[in-house]
Chain A
Amino acid sequence: MAAGVCHGLPWGGGLISFVCVNDPPTVSTQDLPGEVGLVEARDFVRRKPFLCASGDVLPEITLRYETYGHLNRAKDNAILIGHALSGDHHCAGIHRMTDRKSGWWNNMIGPGKPIDTERFFVICSNVLGGCMGSTGPRSTDPRTGEAYGLDFPIISIRDMVDAQYALITEELGLPVLHAVVGGSMGGMQALEWGRAYPDFVRRLLPMATTARQSAQAIAFNEVGRIAITQDPRWNGGRYDPQRGPDVGLAVARMMAHITYLSDQGMEVKFGRERVAGSTARTLFDPEFEVESYLRYQGRSFINRFDATSYLYITKAIDRFDLYGPEGQLEESLRPVTARVLAVGFSSDWLFPPSHNRAIVHALLRCGRDASYAEVKSDLGHDSFLVHSPELYALVSDFLAP
């Protein structure tokens, strides 16, 4: 890595200082993928009213975000990452040397990785309505001094994108985005970017996503929401964050997690394996590995996620419908001028290949530059998050200038 990178931009992120205080690496890192290393989150505080698509107004918003890599002179090498329902702004690197886990897309983003931070300036923010530092239902309403709770406006994918647009233009001062990339709800954001700000974004890479939430996907979200609102500690949304509707939220997460996997993937990963040294004394203690795994997923989720945010974000996903009342996806996607690659995953039954294909069908019918590729994988919806050389090749080739 060249020494010149030290003269980074003020928002260059913690990596830069981390790299610069050390001697240059003796082994060339050109060929081997590296790590973005230590990173830190920043807050974009926008002290003016934010108008939601619903017509509601938030008096001010904060977006927590991270960036990796460096902006070039022309300021045209920025890539925005959209995160999924339970994701956040921390998609690569680590916050502390003691962190055991790195950002959620660390396999995809970094020096020499498919989204190459040696070439691109990568941005990811926690969505509006989230609970990882951006303004959401747990944030304090400056007008009342109390948490918004259910007074938080119903937000949409479009609102998330508009907030990102404010971050990118007002805080980072960028004139253009090289690409918007995201899976699942992040893919919805990519599509929304392409039609809301067509002149601003050159490439869109939605994956494992849909232009319209299906009845089945809405159904799963609804069961999750009912689990939360029927938890006695829900209390109409007025709960102490330390004593929230944890059981309901954990059940919602456990069920949702099943939709992110696949029959075959679970068979391979768990089969009918029993919990090692199980001390199960009753019939309903965890007996199978898969039960234990789901309980762990539920438990760890309640430590990092807010139940009201979960309700709001799943509602934003459920209402996402680019087909519109006329059922014409072309009409929604006609404004898109960016080059598009949609990627589907063979075993994804939450947002199946056909949904990703339909996006490309509509764009092609409009005469746009669009491609569709399908990656074979047994790991269901979460396939976009795991190691996949085929996906890596698609991403790096599509993003190449």
Chain B
Amino acid sequence: MQRQHVKRETDLQIISTWVEEGQRVLDLGCGRGVLLEHLAQSKAVYGVGVDLDLGKAQACIRRGVNVYQGDALSLMKIYPDRAFDWVILSRTVQELEAPRAVFDEALRVGCRVAVGFVNFGYWKNRLSLLWRGALPRNEVFPLHWEEGSSGNSVAVRTFESFCERNGIRMERTVYLRGDWQRRCRFGAGFRAGYALYALSRATEATPALAADPPMPSTSHR
């Protein structure tokens, strides 16, 4: 399977098990609308996507997915508190210029926030800098620096520290290894290539999530 497809499938499979039938979903950095289309078909959600790029917005429109071409922060500002059940940032955080502001808004307009990102602290990245003194280029960061878009990359440790310092509850955590498929059971900061979280505001009375559903069978691929 193409690597891009693996990436897309991983988020799609795991986040789909978190979202429930008929819920309201806001997808920040929705790309071509694949996730929202899947959620609309499989879970009958009401979805809205946001993306800066006209080509991606057009792809969403072709899929029949609602899309707002523009800035995520300014769109979230129009919504009242808890307008969505889920706000999703799937492979979006590394593009954010002001992550704190985006998370503050996402946790306001969404009861929960689902985040998935590539772990910059992955061991091969560390080795690359240590041994070669060069930015990592590997299965998790496959692009050359000049082609890449990992402008504001984040590591598992960094992100979890951000959540702890800001009173954000990590209700669920899924770590995947460098192949983005097998679960990573220990040493995630070092061994995980990809991390997914379900977040909520610790202060708010969000009903607890149901028991963690079984992991989809991506590992068999």
Residues of A bordering B, CB below 8 Å: 339, 341, 357, 360-361, 364-365, 367, 369-376, 390, 393-394, 397-398, 400
B66 proximal to A (CB < 8 A)? yes
Bound complex: CA A373 to CA B67 (Å)? 8
- Would you give 29 A-B contacts (Cβ < 8 Å), ordered by A? A339-B64, A341-B61, A357-B70, A364-B66, A364-B75, A364-B78, A365-B80, A369-B66, A370-B66, A371-B57, A371-B60, A371-B66, A371-B67, A371-B69, A372-B67, A372-B68, A373-B57, A373-B58, A373-B61, A373-B67, A374-B54, A390-B54, A390-B58, A393-B58, A394-B58, A394-B61, A397-B61, A397-B62, A400-B62
The answer to whether the Cβ of B46 comes within 8 Å of any Cβ in the partner chain is yes
Contact assessment for B68 and A364 in the assembled complex, using a CB-CB cutoff below 8 Å: yes
Min C-beta distance of A181 to chain B, whole Å: 14
CB distance B58 to A397 under 8 Å? yes
Complexed CA–CA distance, A71 and B58 (Å): 28
Instruction: Mark each residue of chain B from 35 to 47: 1 if its CB lies under 8 Å from any CB of chain A, else 0.
Output: 0000000000010
**Main SS at interface, chain B:** mixed
Hey, which chain B residues are within 8 Å of A367, CB to CB? 24, 46
Q: Which of A364, A374, A397, A400 contacts B69 (CB 8 A)?
A: A374
In the complex the two chains form, what is the Cα distance from A341 to B63 in whole Å? 13
Min distance, Cβ A172 to any Cβ of chain B, angstroms: 27
Docked Cα-Cα span, A373 to B79, in Å, equals 19
Instruction: Specify the chain B residue showing the minimal Cβ separation from A368.
Output: B66
The contact of B48 among A364, A374, A376, A394, by CB within 8 Å, is: A364
B53-88: CB near A (< 8 Å → 1, else 0) gives 010011011101011111000010011100000000
Given A374-B69, A374-B70, A365 and B78 touching (CB < 8 A)?
Answer: yes
Cα of A230 to Cα of B129 in the assembled complex, Å:
77
- B24: chain A residues within 8 A (beta carbon): 367
B52 to A, closest residue via Cβ: A374
Q: Which residues of B contact A376 (CB under 8 A)?
A: 54
A398-B54 contact, Cβ under 8 Å, with A357-B70, A371-B67, A372-B68 = no
Chain B residues in 8 Å Cβ range of A361 = 75, 78
Minimum CB distance partner of A363 in chain B: B66
Contact, CB under 8 Å: A371 / B68: yes
Distance, CA A372 to CA B67, complexed state (A): 6
Assess whether A375 is in contact with B61, with CB atoms less than 8 Å apart: no
Residues of B within 8 A of A341 (CB): 61
Docked complex Cα distance between A375 and B69 (Å): 10
When chains A and B are docked, how far (Å) is the Cα of A325 from the Cα of B61? Answer: 33
If A393-B58, A398-B61, A400-B62 touch, does A372 touch B78 (CB 8 Å cutoff)? no
